[in-house]
Amino acid sequence: MSGSYGGAERGQDLDWRVMLGAMPDAAVVLDQAGRVVEFNAPLNELYPDVRRDQPLSRWLRNPDLFQAIEDAAGGQPEVVFLIHRLPVERRIAARVVRLGDMSAEEVSGSAPFYLVTFRDLTEQDKLAQMREDFIANASHELRTPLASLRGFIETLQGPARDDAGARDRFLALMAGQAERMTRLIDDLLSLSRVEMRAHVMPRAIIDLNEVAGYVLETLQPMAAAARADLQLELDKVSARFRGERDEIVQVISNLVHNAITYGGDGVEVRVAVARAPAQGGHGERVCVTVSDNGPGIPKEHLPRLTERFYRPSVSASRSKGGTGLGLAIVKHIVARHRGDLEISSQLGRGSTFKASFDAVT
Ligand code: ADP
């Protein structure tokens, strides 16, 4: 921006106001005394009490910001971080710049002198925190079996060196820990692959009947070993939708796998594919429902069940070979397909997981 605002002609005057209005961040222009000359709509949204010709201090009392404005008069841009606690806590970066070099006459009256922009960092902070938590969780989950493997190795190198019985027992336990690490890495890779493609809508047309049939066939041996009864109900006509077959295979396998794993001995698992009118009356949906008559999930856990590494009981999940990522993968895949995932459960009665997608006719 050029410095001659004070003596600006109408055309130039219009320019900076138009630019201020077009800025995506909340921004306010102040005169040298700190009074509001102009502000844009995002600023009005962030600070509804803002008024022209009033000092900034009327609607934003923050000593750090006043200091930054004073310091910015020297010509160096200044950045300060503001914490707003109400209505919800938000962290905002405020950047103050002096607008060019102006002579004393030019800055008299209510001429633009400072531009203050506000950027809401709350969302960015939340994402950074999530990433940090995720890495901490993933490392912790990997470190546990790794520590146990090292313990066994040390024992086999030392005290159990010549004990053939202990060696066989330890090697079997070590194989179990190595498998657990492999499962975790496979799940982490699946999750990252789905996330990478999160914004690419699948193009191929697949049939939910075919995919559900295939998954049930592949899981039959596991069901037989757990004495689970798998039942399949297919849609009579067709259940076609746009989807990535491998990913939908994973959704149904994870759900059926969980139903068998957590359903208990002799559980009945029902997989049903159906079509239903879409809400709002536009077109149809195809749905796959996986329900079991197992012990169910306490209500308070349902809202967080699809979060990465969230498990109502970490030890129960671990002892059954769980990683805590299965439902997070399901949720991400369904979201990538612009589908919906509904979870309901009743203690003592069982759980139902339903994924639905827009049908292709
Ligand atoms: P994992 O099975 O690896 O622990 P998931 O994300 O697949 O992770 O599942 C999270 C948790 O949800 C499980 O640990 C289990 O407690 C619960 N859960 C999932 N499906 C069922 C089900 N059908 N019945 C009871 N609990 C379930």
Give pLDDT tens digits for 317-361. 988 889 999 999 999 999 999 999 999 999 999 999 999 999 998
Q: Is the pLDDT of residue 165 over 70?
A: yes
Alpha-carbon distance 318 to 175, whole Å? 15
Q: Which pLDDT score is estimated for 106?
A: 58
Q: Which pLDDT score is estimated for 345?
A: 97
Q: Are 232 and 212 in contact (CB under 8 A)?
A: yes
Query: Is 322 near ligand 1, meaning CB less than 6 Å away?
Result: yes
Percent share of the chain, pLDDT over 70: 94
Q: Is the pLDDT of residue 182 over 60?
A: yes
Residue 285 C-beta-side C-alpha neighbours within 13 Å: 18
Please name the residue whose Cα sits nearest to atom 27 of ligand 1.
262
> Which atom of ligand 1 is least distant from the CA of 292?
23
Q: Is the pLDDT of residue 13 over 70?
A: no
Closest CA to 81 of 139, 120, 132: 120
Closest CA to 272 of 208, 217, 327, 332: 208
Percent share of the chain, pLDDT over 90: 76
Query: Is 287 near ligand 1, meaning CB less than 6 Å away?
Result: no
Average pLDDT, the chain: 90
Query: Is 187 near ligand 1, meaning CB less than 6 Å away?
Result: no
Q: What string of H, E and C letters represents the secondary structure of the chain?
A: CCCCCCCCCHHHHHHHHHHHHHCCCEEEEECCCCEEEEECHHHHHHCCCCCCCCEHHHCCCCHHHHHHHHHHCCCCCEEEEEEECCCCCEEEEEEEEECCCCCCCCCCCCCCCEEEEEEECHHHHHHHHHHHHHHHHHHHHHHHHHHHHHHHHHHHHCCCCCCHHHHHHHHHHHHHHHHHHHHHHHHHHHHHHHHHCCCCCCCCEEEHHHHHHHHHHHHHHHHHHCCCEEEEECCCCCCEEECCHHHHHHHHHHHHHHHHHHHCCCCEEEEEEEEEECCCCCCEEEEEEEEECCCCCCHHHHHHCCCCCCCCCHHHHHHCCCCCCHHHHHHHHHHHCCCEEEEEEECCCEEEEEEEEEECC
Q: Is the pLDDT of residue 262 over 70?
A: yes
Q: Is the pLDDT of residue 140 over 60?
A: yes
The residues, ordered by sequence, that sit 6+ positions from 349 with a Cβ below 8 Å of its Cβ are 293, 296
The mean pLDDT value for 285-309 works out to 96
Query: Is 294 near ligand 1, meaning CB less than 6 Å away?
Result: yes
Give residue 199 CA to ligand 1 midpoint distance, Å: 27
Query: Is 190 near ligand 1, meaning CB less than 6 Å away?
Result: no
Query: Is 243 near ligand 1, meaning CB less than 6 Å away?
Result: no
Query: Is 112 near ligand 1, meaning CB less than 6 Å away?
Result: no
Q: Are 137 and 43 in contact (CB under 8 A)?
A: no
Candidate from 317, 329, 331 with most ligand 1 atoms within 8 A of CB, to mutate: 317
Q: Which pLDDT score is estimated for 7?
A: 46
Q: Which pLDDT score is estimated for 203?
A: 93
The mean pLDDT value for 230-235 works out to 93
Give residue 347 CA to ligand 1 midpoint distance, Å: 14
Q: Is the pLDDT of residue 2 over 80?
A: no
**To 10 degrees, what angle do helices 326-336 and 245-263 make?**
150
Distance of CA 351 to the CA centre of its chain: 24
Give pLDDT tens digits for 16-75. 889 999 999 999 999 988 999 999 999 999 999 999 999 998 889 899 999 999 999 888
> Which atom of ligand 1 is least distant from the CA of 310?
10
Give pLDDT tens digits for 184-200. 999 999 999 999 998 89
Q: Is the pLDDT of residue 9 over 60?
A: no
The residues, ordered by sequence, that sit 6+ positions from 23 with a Cβ below 8 Å of its Cβ are 40, 42, 117
Q: Is the pLDDT of residue 306 over 80?
A: yes
Q: Are 65 and 80 in contact (CB under 8 A)?
A: yes
Give residue 57 CA to ligand 1 midpoint distance, Å: 53
Candidate from 327, 329, 346, 351 with most ligand 1 atoms within 8 A of CB, to mutate: 327
Give me the phi and psi of 314, to 5 degrees please.
Answer: -65, -40
Tally of CB atoms within 10 A around 62: 15
